[in-house]
Each structure stands twice: as C-alpha cells, then as structure tokens.
Amino acid sequence: MPIEGATTFHDAVFGDITIENKELEDQILLKSDGYPTYNFANVIDDHLMHITHVVRGCEYLTSTPKYNLLYEAFGWEVPTYVHLPLIMGKNEDGSVSKLSKRHGSTSFAGLVQEGYLPETIVNYIALLGWCPKDNREIFSLAELTENFSIDGISKAPSVFDYEKLAWFNGEYLRAKTPEEFTEIAMPYYQQVFGDTQVDWAVLTSILQPRVVRLTDIPGMIGFLKELPEYDKELFINKKSKANLDNAPVMLKAAIEALTALPDWNVNAIHDCLIGLAQQLEVKNGTLLWPVRIAAAGMQVTPGGAMEILAILGKEESLRRLELGLAKL
C-alpha cells in the first residue's frame, strides 16, 4: 500500500473524492487460514463478472481507494462508482438514524403484508434520494425506467416516511377502476364477511375514496358484520340538529317508510329517506344522522346511511333501527 500522496477517484453522485494514502490501512489480502478477505475477493469477483458499475451505499466511499489500488495492481479497468445516499428512519424522539427494523418493515414483502401495493412501494422507493427534473411524483415502473437518471440522485440522506408512503398508496388505490379495487380488496372483505355475499360494488364505492392501506379495511367495516355497543349520546349532533328528543321520532318514521320499501338498493333507499325528510319538514341530516348511528353504532363511518343500509340488507337494517329506537 502506498503511504504517501493521495488516491483520487470519481463517483457519479459525489464527484471527485480524494483520500490521503496515509489514512488507508495496509489491507490484508489473505487471512491466516488461507482464505481471501472480502475486499480482495470482491475485486476479483467483479472483474471476472465484467462489472462496469458498482452501486452501493455512501458509507463505502472512504474504502473505495482500497478497491481501486487493487484494480490498478492487477492492471484492470476501474469500474464506475455510484454511491447512494443512506435511507434514514424516524426515531420516537424525532431524530433520525439509518433505517432498521425498529422503524417498521424494511423488506418489500413486509410492506406488501402491511397493505401497500407493490407498484406503490417501487414508486416511493425510487423517489428516496432521487428527484425527477419536473418534480413529478407518480410514476409507473415503465415511466421510472424512462425518466430515471443518475444525475438526479441527491448527496443528502433521505427519510423513509410511512405517512408519505400511505399517501402514495391511497393515490394508487383511487386510480384503480372499481372492479380492480374490489378484486384487490376481496381478501380483506372476506376477513369480515367470510362466504356471506353482500353488494361488493356499494362497499367498494364507500371504501375506495378512503382507504390508504388494504390492511385497514377489516377494521373499517367490522361494524357491518356485528353491531358494536354504543351509547345513545351518539344520536346527538348539533350540526344536523339531531338530539335525544327528535331522534326516536326520526327512527320510528324511517322504520315505517323502509319497511314498506319494495326495492332494497342505494337509490331506492336514498329516494325513500330524502322524501321522508321533506315530508317531515326536517333537514336531511336530522333524519339521516340517527338512522346512520342506529345502523352502524359508530360516530364515524365510511359511507353514509344509504350505503350502510344497502350493504346490511333490509332485514338486518330494520333490526338495527329497532334496537336504536329501543335504546332511545
């Protein structure tokens, strides 16, 4: 190993890097057991496989001269180096450190299991440390292949942001056709409903605009399978002018109108309840709020009263409305 002067190499991201030779240790090539060290074997392996570009993390920048001195000693061509910025993870205290398992899933398969689409993961990871010239964010794999360039890679570390990943995933899910979304979501639908058939199209219509992770679906629709316990105070809503006095009146009228409804679908239920609100001379919300609360047992739901009633079916809907009336 040279002990004087400096070794300079060019990196596609960081430019020219110079390391003083006195800072390099006299590297061992063969261990005492006769086996080559990693650095020695790596150079030979890459040369024999005709490697032209070495892409790796920037933590190896300072060790690169050791490789190059070996290439030069053999009289071999030095490859092009592309050292990438590190990917960091957010710690609980707000600081960042190199991404590891404690920050969450660090494998592609792990992220898929958490409910992220494969195309979302590819798109998001491509933007970690790389910025397209037009600041665009949504890319298909084919578009990434066409647009990616090494000169767009940043020197600064990037942070793996799960909130941003979830935003990407939501955008991808909303871009699907309803039929595509239903197919993707079906395993999660079946976690709740099993073999029971419901109006999947209506379920998709209320979930597709709201879901960001597929694994969230069972928790969002569990109330459709089993009515949760709830307090009658949920029937109170100032904005809708719903209260404990008028809620039972609304529910009783809704039960009568819906019982007589011959067709049970979103449009028929909508026309029935909106017409009933006009007949009762109340705001739509004054009627629909207690109907939704009784049907769902939850203050916040994906979808409104009409969609929930349509998915539940007539018999179960009326049963739940009767329970709500009894509670009041």
Taking the domain 6-84, which CATH number applies? 3.40.50.620
Q: Say what the pLDDT of residue 23 is.
A: 86
Domain range annotation of the chain:
6-84, 87-174, 176-225, 232-327
Residue 158: how many CB atoms within 10 A of its CB? 19
- CB-based contacts of 292-296 (< 8 A; 24+ apart in sequence): 293/230, 293/234, 293/235, 293/247, 293/324, 294/235, 294/251, 294/320, 294/321, 294/323, 294/324, 294/325, 294/327, 295/320, 295/321, 295/324, 296/223, 296/224, 296/227
| DSSP H helical ranges for the chain | 38-48, 64-74, 108-113, 118-126, 141-147, 162-175, 178-193, 200-207, 217-225, 247-259, 266-280, 284-296, 305-312, 314-327
pTM: 0.81
Q: Say what the pLDDT of residue 194 is.
A: 93
The domain made up of 232-327 is a member of CATH 1.10.10.350: yes
Name the one residue in this structure whose structure tokens are 């491509």: 126
Give the amino acid at 178. Answer: P
Residue 293's SS3 state is helix
Is the Cα dihedral 178, 183, 186, 187 positive or negative?
A: negative
Q: How many CA atoms lie within 13 A of 223 on its CB side?
A: 21
Q: Say what the pLDDT of residue 102 is.
A: 77
Name the one residue in this structure whose structure tokens are 């240790």: 25
Q: What is the rounded distance in angstroms from the CA atom of residue 1 to the CA atom of residue 25?
A: 8
Residue 130's SS3 state is strand
Pick the CATH number of 87-174 from 3.20.20.120, 1.10.1160.10, 3.40.50.720, 3.30.70.1520: 1.10.1160.10
- Please state at what angle helix 284-296 crosses helix 266-280, rounded to 10 degrees: 130
Pair of tokens at residue 60: 């190896």
DSSP code string of 233-285: GGG-BTTTTB-TTTHHHHHHHHHHHHHT-S--SHHHHHHHHHHHHHHHT--HH
Q: Say what the pLDDT of residue 96 is.
A: 87
Active site residues: 101
pLDDT tens, per residue, the chain with 328 residues: 888 899 899 999 999 999 888 888 888 999 999 999 998 999 999 999 999 999 999 989 988 999 999 999 999 999 999 999 988 888 888 888 888 877 776 789 999 999 999 999 999 999 998 988 888 899 999 999 999 999 899 999 999 988 999 999 999 999 999 999 999 999 999 999 999 999 999 999 999 999 999 999 999 999 999 999 999 999 999 999 999 999 999 999 999 999 999 999 999 999 999 999 999 999 999 999 999 999 999 999 999 999 999 999 999 999 999 999 999 9
Q: Say what the pLDDT of residue 92 is.
A: 82
